[in-house]
Each structure stands twice: as structure tokens, then as C-alpha cells.
Structure 1
Amino acid sequence: MLGKYLDQFCVGLRILLGVLMGALAVPVAMQVLSRYTGIIPTFLWTEELATFLFIWIVMIGSVVAVWDGTHFDVRITRDFKSPFLVLVQNGIVHLAIMIFGALFLYYGIEYAEFGGKQRSVMMRANLMITHISVPIAGGLWLLLSGYRLSQDISKYLGRKGALT
């Protein structure tokens, strides 16, 4: 049951990623047009907006990658055939993502508070807009990797799913 909700949540994140990518095209196109053609005047806020959008795209994309299992991991051993060793190998990856998620969540809260005290140079936007993406992504990495780990353990134990 939880897996179904998490899957739908990630579908929503994919849609949001598409919208953000489309939105990113606007300020980048304005930058290119102003810099190389002179058709429109140079707007300095477009670079800040593009940076803000890019930060959110990266953080949301990392959450989707954790859910899909496509987030990069480094295998220092060969892929095992033994179900137990596969569980250990995948469990180490999930635990590493969960540890980093917990660190991003814990320290990201302070980072977001720090951003809340600042404003961007051109747009005068509160920098919490981008800084808050760090603890949000960390919390979601923690949740999604924990769910995937519970799935792997349940699969190893021969059940359908621990939280399904």
C-alpha cells in the first residue's frame, strides 16, 4: 500500500521535473538571446532564476533516482548470485543513501535557516527558496531508501513486501 503511494508521489515528481525543465528553458533562452543577438536587453535576474530552477531540478531528480534505483552507486565487488549476498550488497547501498539522507536532513535544516536570513542579489528573493531543497531531498532519500531496504529484506525472507 505504501509503495503505491510512494510510486504515485514519484510520478508527480517526474511531472514537476518536466515543468521545471520547461521553465528553465525560458531564462536560459533569454540569456542566450541577449548575449549573442542583442534582440532583447540583458537581464541579470535570469541567471539567478536559472540557478534556482537548476538546484531544484537536481534535488528532485536525485529523489526520483533513489526511488528508481538509478542513483549511482559504486560496486567494489562483483554482483553476487547468492540471495543473501545480494541482500547485503544492496543493503549497504541503501544504508549509505539513508546515512547521507539523514545527514542532509539534519544539517540541511540549519542550512535552510541560514538561507532564510539572506536575499539573492538581483531578484532579492529569500534564499531559503533553494536552501530548503537540501533537507527535503535528504528526508525523501531516507524514506525511499528505507522503503527499498524493507522491500529487499522482505524479498529475501520470501514475503511479498514488508510495507506493501
Structure 2
Amino acid sequence: MRRLLHGLTHLNRGLERCLHWLLLALLFGFIALIVYQIVSRNLPLMPRLYWTEEFSRFAFQWMIMLGTAIGVLHADHFVLEAFPRGSRASLVTRWIRDLSCLAVGLIFVIHGKDFALSGLRREATASGLSMIYVYSAFSVSGLLIILFSAQRLLHALLDGVPRMEASLDTPDAVEEALEAHAGHGDELDPSLSSTDGRTP
């Protein structure tokens, strides 16, 4: 099991590195296409390329789906703390959270396959691009979510949820600030109080 976790961690680290570069490329492409659309509407000399609107929309869809997968790996999605951290109820809900992400990934892969294949029968209006390249975003995202959720669950099974979260979760800036403040204690500035114990 430990060897499986090591291999999965190594694989996911490489996938995450590739996803970061791919997401950067999609973001810059998205911005460039949007800027071109704005400029071409105001400068008659520039040709109106209608496919830029489609490609910017497709890039945005892929960014959402791939970013969702990375969010699962680091628990960056929206989380509502319903129970005190460290309680048994909190531990159970965190297990449910990661198992639910795994279930969503499975749904994306199973049903996303048919959705992607339906794109073979459809083409984008302006560019003529086969829609399978757009519809397959769900299947790809689902596969990544499964891999990332499996790493989290296996890590939690072997080392416990707190150690897994400390290793994988994105640090909470607010929580870190509160812990740092608690470590310094509630020291009062002497200049804020007078000698008789009353504030000026």
C-alpha cells in the first residue's frame, strides 16, 4: 500500500506540473483572444475573426474543468466547517468530502464518455471544430479527480486525515494568522494603560 501511495503521489505530482503549464497557456490564450475581439470591434482595419469567440469560450471551459481537478487535490473547493476541528464529527465529514469527490470523478468519467462521443456528430458553428475536443473536458477532469481523490484517501488511510491534510491542503492564511497570534499571547501595550489601571 505504501508503494502504491508513493507511485500515485509521483504520478500526480507530474500531472499537476503539466496542468499548471497547460492552465497558464489556456489563460494567456483566453486573454489574447478576448483582447483581439475588443480591438477588432473598434479598429475597422483588423479583420473580424468569429472563431475567436468560440475558442475563448472553449478555453474557459477547459480552464474550469482542469482547475476543478487541481482544487480537489489541495481541497481548494468551498468548504463549510460545521463541526469543531479535531472532533469525531469533523473527521467523518472530511472522509465524506473526499469520498464524494471520488464519486463525482467516477460520474464524470462514466457519463462523460458518452457525452464526449456525441461531439463527433457536432461541429462548432464558426470554426468547424469537432465538439469532441470540448465535450471531452468532463471525462479528462473526471479521470484527474479520481487520481487526486485516490491519493488523498490512500494517504488518509495510511497516515490519518490530519497528516494527509497537512501534506496536501493549501494552507489557510486566516487560520495561520490566528495560530501565530495565539502563540504570541494577548500582550497589552503599556502605553495604552495608566498607572492606576484605567485607560486614558
TM range (shorter): 0.7 to 0.9
Query: Which residue number in structure 1 is paired with residue 97 of structure 2?
Result: 93
Alpha carbons of 1:68 and 1:158: their partners in 2 closer, same or farther (altered >3 Å)?
closer
Residue deviations 1:92-124 (CA, integer Å, cap 9, x gap)? 101111111111111100100111211000000
Q: Distance in 2 between matches of 1:92 and 1:33?
A: 48
- Quick one: percent identity of the two aligned structures? 24
Whose Rg is larger?
2
Tell me which moved more, 60-69 or 124-133: 60-69
Q: Does 1:80 align with 2:85?
A: yes
Task: Select 2:129's aligned residue among 119, 125, 128.
Answer: 125
Q: Which amino acid aligns with 1:81?
A: G
Shift of 1:37: 4.1
Q: Does 1:13 align with 2:19?
A: yes
* Root mean square deviation of aligned Cα: 2.1
Query: Which residue number in structure 2 is paired with residue 44 of structure 1?
Result: 50
Q: Which amino acid aligns with 2:67?
A: G
Q: Which amino acid aligns with 1:78?
A: F
Shift of 1:71: 2.0
Query: Which residue number in structure 2 is paired with residue 136 of structure 1?
Result: 140
Q: Which amino acid aligns with 2:52?
A: T
Shift of 1:4: 2.5
Q: Distance in 2 between matches of 1:23 and 1:6?
A: 25
The normalised TM-score by structure 2 is 0.72
Native 8 Å contact 1:87 1:153 kept in 2:
no
Query: Which residue number in structure 2 is paired with residue 109 of structure 1?
Result: 113
Q: Distance in 1 between matches of 2:23 and 2:10?
A: 20
Q: Distance in 2 between matches of 1:158 and 1:90?
A: 10
Structure 2: 5+ residue runs without aligned partners?
1-5, 165-200
Native 8 Å contact 1:33 1:39 kept in 2:
no
Structure 1: 5+ residue runs without aligned partners?
none
Q: Which amino acid aligns with 1:67?
A: L
Q: Does 1:60 align with 2:55?
A: no
Native 8 Å contact 1:20 1:53 kept in 2:
yes
